[in-house]
Amino acid sequence: MLSFSRITRPVRTQSLRTQVYETLLERIQQGAIGRADRLLDLEIASDLGVSRMPVREALLRLTHEGYLAGTSRGFMLPTLTYEDMSEIFEVRKLLEPRAAAMAARDIQDEQLQQLATARDQAQEAHHASNSGRFIRANSDFRQVWLQAVSNGRLSSTINRFADHVQAVRFDTLQSAATREIALAGLGRILLTFQHHDVLEAQDCMARFLVDSEDAFFKAWRDTHPAKSDSKPKGLSASQ
């Protein structure tokens, strides 16, 4: 059963609704909310020690942004189809290489250290066959480099699309082969950031996304054989 730690009362610059929203979003980003979990406003409000209204508003905002889907029995992670995933990868392939180039140009030493820590945590999680920890480390890695992107709208758009697939990502990252591909990609991306190599960062991110897409759909077909009759619409590396 899901539970949430109580939050402190907001300071003037941040509404209670925003605090609840950020608490829920962080749980989604870290893979702490599964596809079978139902989010009920009364239960969350009780856990957090707040009234029902800010929780309801936060849940509706997350639904509007595509993170959740409303049902007759609360809110859940959305069910994504094979075609949905194909479209999300297509958007990410258009946006993330450019964003990575911007990050390579502007990233700071402290952020590089945070990236290295996240990469190391992902490696430890992979060797321990801990998919949950791997997803959290992967999410931390993404959050750090996106903070180095000077275009806030670009980074928030990338984050949103990446977060939308967290539940499905948890399923596919049960595969050691998929985690191995993801881990290798994180290492290559980190190296380009450390060298502040703008062009290589852009190319490396593009290759990483193609490799991730191929690995993702292979794992998807293995775990969802009845739902993968069609092929992704996006261009593959061989096209």
Q: So where are the chain's domains?
A: 16-76, 82-227
C-alpha span between 130 and 228 (Å, rounded): 26
The pLDDT of residue 169: 74
CA–CA distance, 50 with 161 (Å, rounded to integer):
29
Residues of the chain with pLDDT under 50: 10-13, 229, 231-239
pLDDT of res. 196: 98
Q: How large is the greatest C-alpha to C-alpha distance in the chain, in angstroms?
A: 54
- DSSP annotation of 195 reads T
Positive or negative: CA dihedral 184, 186, 189, 190: negative
Measured between alpha carbons, how far is 49 from 29 in angstroms, rounded to an integer? 22
- Given this model, what pLDDT does residue 237 score? 39
Nearest to 33 by CA among 17, 18, 44: 44
How far are the Cα atoms of 58, 174, 223, 231 from residue 180, in angstroms, in the given order? 36, 11, 18, 24
CATH code reported for the domain at 16-76: 1.10.10.10
CA dihedral (175, 66, 76, 219) in degrees, to 10, reads -10
Instruction: Say whether 82-227 and 16-76 share the same fold.
Output: no
User: Closest Cα partner for 137 from 198, 86, 182?
Assistant: 182
Main-chain dihedrals φ then ψ at residue 64, nearest 5 degrees: -60, -35
Q: Tell me the backbone φ, ψ of residue 76, rounded to 5 degrees.
A: -140, 165
Contacts of 186 (CB under 8 A, 6+ apart): 118, 119, 122, 138, 141
| CATH superfamily, domain at 82-227 | GntR ligand-binding domain-like (1.20.120.530)
End-to-end CA distance of the chain: 45
Residues in the chain: 239
Residue 207 neighbours by CB under 8 Å, 6+ apart:
185, 188
Instruction: Measure CA 109 to chain center.
Output: 23
